[in-house]
Amino acid sequence: MVSALIFDVDGTLAETEEAHRRAFNETFAARGVDWNWSQETYRELLKTTGGKERMARHREVMGFGPSDDEIAELHKIKTRRYVEIITDGEVPLRPGVARLIAIARDAGLKLAIATTTNRPNVDALIRATLGADPDHLFDAIAAGDEVETKKPAPDVFELALNRLHLPPEACIAFEDSEMGLQSAQGAGLRVLITPSAYTDGGDFSSAEWVLPDLSHALPPEITEGLGQSAAIS
């Protein structure tokens, strides 16, 4: 029986990547950095997890760019801009997400987040879309700035499991990307994939389940723990 659901954030709970890209580009322009990330460039950069790491990777490819200290400062500014965009309500949850979270909570399942993004970004999205205190709604939140190695390493999912005090076989992870899939499976979790705008076309053949989004019929392993109300349509 499933005891907990563990969610990735970017691309899984919401299609946030365009908001991230916009916040990066606006930050670059405001600080005089001669970078502007197109959708094609950003799709490639998403193969590197973490915002600071993404900027360092782009500097490597371009052969010029801000120093490590400047990247750290740019990332702080970018985070503030991203939080503003999210707080303005410009990014809704993906279909089925809010209902699944509500049903799972009512059924007594634990809820957790395991994400590469940092905690301010998580808090902003949960407050803007679900109108709730993240620490009240979720039993555990593990963010990318809390672990030594980001996805595809399993660290952040292992941290979430540790905070839930549950073994991986009692939980199901929800992801949208190949790196997230590798991370969750590395922690011993079964994974349900809902590909996002920036991850469609990925190789998800090793996932236990793949759905277009969470408004579609969920696997019995999940619905059995949720009761009759879980027939999301």
Average pLDDT over residues 187-212: 97
Residue of 8, 139, 155, 176 marked active site = 8
Query: What phi and psi, each to the nearest 5 degrees, are found at residue 111?
Result: -125, 140
Residue 228 pLDDT greater than 60, yes or no: no
Interval 81-136: pLDDT, tens: 999 999 999 999 999 999 999 999 999 999 999 999 999 999 999 999 999 999 99
Is 106 among the catalytic positions? no
Average pLDDT value over all residues in the chain: 95
- Give the distance between the most distant pair of CA atoms in the chain: 57
- Model confidence band, residue 232 (pLDDT cutoffs 50, 70, 90): very low
Is 69 among the catalytic positions? no
- Specify whether the CB–CB gap between 129 and 92 falls below 8 A: yes
Determine the residue type at 76: K
Residue of 10, 139, 155, 176 marked active site = 10
Q: What is the Cα–Cα distance from 125 to 94, expressed in whole angstroms?
A: 12
Q: What is the Cα–Cα distance from 167 to 87, expressed in whole angstroms?
A: 34
Residue-level pLDDT at 233: 39
